[in-house]
Copies of this chain bind each other. A is one copy, B any other.
Amino acid sequence: MTSSPASDLPVSLADVRAAAERLRGKAVRTPLLEVAALDQELGFRLLVKAEPLQRTGSFKFRGAYNTIAQLAPAARQKGVVAFSSGNHAQGVAAAAKLLDMHATIVMPSDAPLTKRERTKSYGADVVLYDRDREDREAIARRIADERGATTVKPFDDPRVIAGQGTAGLEIAEQAAEAGIELDAVIVNCSGGGLVTGCAVALAALSPKTEIYSSEPAEYDDMARSLAAGTRQSNPPGSRSFCDALMSTTPGEITFPIARRLLAGGFSADDAAVAKAMALAFDRFKLVIEPGGAVALACALQQRDRFRGRTVVAVASGGNVDRATFAKAIAA
């Protein structure tokens, strides 16, 4: 009820709290993990928010469910459609199933097999497209038009942002319960739904905490956009094994929130990400997918900056093929 410094933004703490109410008993309150012996080695206190343990194996269920649960009855009957490289697909498919709705998912044909198969297992129709030659938004739009289905956007929707923000709300609550003051929270960023949702919650509840985005090296559009003050895009032909974080530009809705609330943006290359996945395996016993491990990679790279401080890295997902994982931890 008090006015917040972010009260003119399209997503408020109240929206995130309402999302948390909708998600109660549906989403997992994922743990904030810590390895005491590792903290001593690193020289800073490192906590990992374990979204691989979330329903569907990534944070995406939060935003998808919060959005779909708010659809009017008439819209519910016509189902939902989404385009996604995988985690948003599973989030939407699982949320639709829980709410007794039909879902159609448009996925790139090079999405990891585990993500394609799992999406189908939730009862969704999967339509594949060629990432380099076809326009996924056009395909999704055509399906939405034909069936009257509602498109669930991957990030640029206040309902999606508020849903993802419940992860940040939990981080603030869990830190308070444990008596921990957080100096920084690093959040993986593709279009920016998760990082801005978390920022809305944390800016209100833990205003001294710095929030950073983390991106793959060749997909650092948010970091460059924050530095430039305007939305920047990644050049065509960029490549990364972080399949979950390959959006080309920050969202129209997410970027102004990010610009207001974020302290800056980090990025990490594939080798640093693989190293972070291996560390998570060795020490946290947590399976993190490449795109999910970028925040951890950035935290490790920023050891000097964070010396003596307390940092949360949000591990955003764990949906990775066995072969990719085995290769990453063998590197």
Contact = CB atoms under 8 A, between A and B. Distances in A.
Contact of A287 (B31, B35, B57, B286): B286
B281 A37 contact: no
Task: Tell me which of A31, A122, A288, A330 has the highest count of chain B C-beta atoms within 10 A of its own C-beta.
Answer: A31
Interface stretch (A136-144, A151-159, A303-311, A319-327): A319-327
A285 B318 contact: yes
Contacts of A278: 322
A21 B41 CA distance: 28
Interface in A50-86: 52-53, 55-57
B287 A285 contact: yes
Counting chain A residues whose Cβ lies within 8 A of the other chain, the interface size class is 20 to 34
A286 B50 CA distance: 10
Nearest to A35: B55
A36 interface: yes
A27 to B, nearest CB: 11
Contacts of A284: 53
Given A37-B122, A121-B37, A322 B114 contact: no
A281 B285 contact: no
B33 A53 contact: yes
29 contacts: A31-B31, A31-B53, A33-B53, A35-B55, A36-B55, A37-B94, A37-B118, A41-B121, A53-B286, A57-B285, A114-B282, A278-B322, A281-B287, A281-B322, A281-B325, A282-B322, A285-B286, A285-B287, A285-B288, A285-B318, A286-B286, A287-B287, A322-B329, A322-B330, A323-B330, A325-B326, A325-B329, A326-B326, A326-B330
Given A281-B325, A286-B287, 14 more contacts: A31-B53, A33-B53, A35-B55, A37-B94, A37-B121, A41-B121, A53-B285, A53-B286, A281-B287, A285-B286, A285-B288, A287-B287, A322-B329, A325-B326
Give 7 closest A-B pairs by Cβ, nearest first: A285-B318, A52-B285, A326-B326, A285-B287, A322-B329, A31-B31, A281-B287
